[in-house]
Amino acid sequence: ENLKEIKTPKLIIQPLVENAIIHGLEPKLGEWKLSVRVETIAGRVTITIRDNGVGFDDKTLPENIDELANSGHVGVYNVYRRLVLTYGDDLSFSIKSNVGTGTVVQISFTAEEARRSSG
């Protein structure tokens, strides 16, 4: 797949990278690692943002992603809602974290849907 043909809403990755730096890496002692990877696998576009920051426990994020805005995670919620408006049921959005080892945010949608969507 040619990633240049893939369209996503503007400012989707930036708030997630900013969160990784501010909440994950800045409080960490030692070497910082942050990666942003975009790839196509089996016809799906996958965007992965990974850091080796301080991480957080399961209680930090609500179980239901729609409750993010009410729990103080407005930036992440806004990214999620914009992606839902663009990709609908085709969207997969996950946040996984472990205290002391970092956080991984993964966004996935079909490449065909991304070509039809406007950036």
- Looking at CATH, the fold of the domain delimited by 3-114 is given as Heat Shock Protein 90 (3.30.565)
Q: Report CA-CA distances (Å) from 58 to 16, 73, 90, 97.
A: 18, 14, 25, 8
Q: Using pLDDT thresholds of 50, 70 and 90, give the confidence band for residue 104.
A: very high
Per-domain residue ranges for the chain?
3-114
- Torsion of Cα atoms, 36 then 46 then 102 then 73, to 10°: 100
pLDDT tens for each residue of 55-66: 998 777 666 676
Long-range contacts, stretch 36-40, CB < 8 angstroms, 24+ apart: 38/3, 38/6, 39/3, 40/1, 40/3, 40/6, 40/111
Q: What percent of the chain lies above the pLDDT cut of 90?
A: 62
Q: What percent of the chain lies above the pLDDT cut of 70?
A: 82
Q: What is the DSSP letter of 4?
A: G
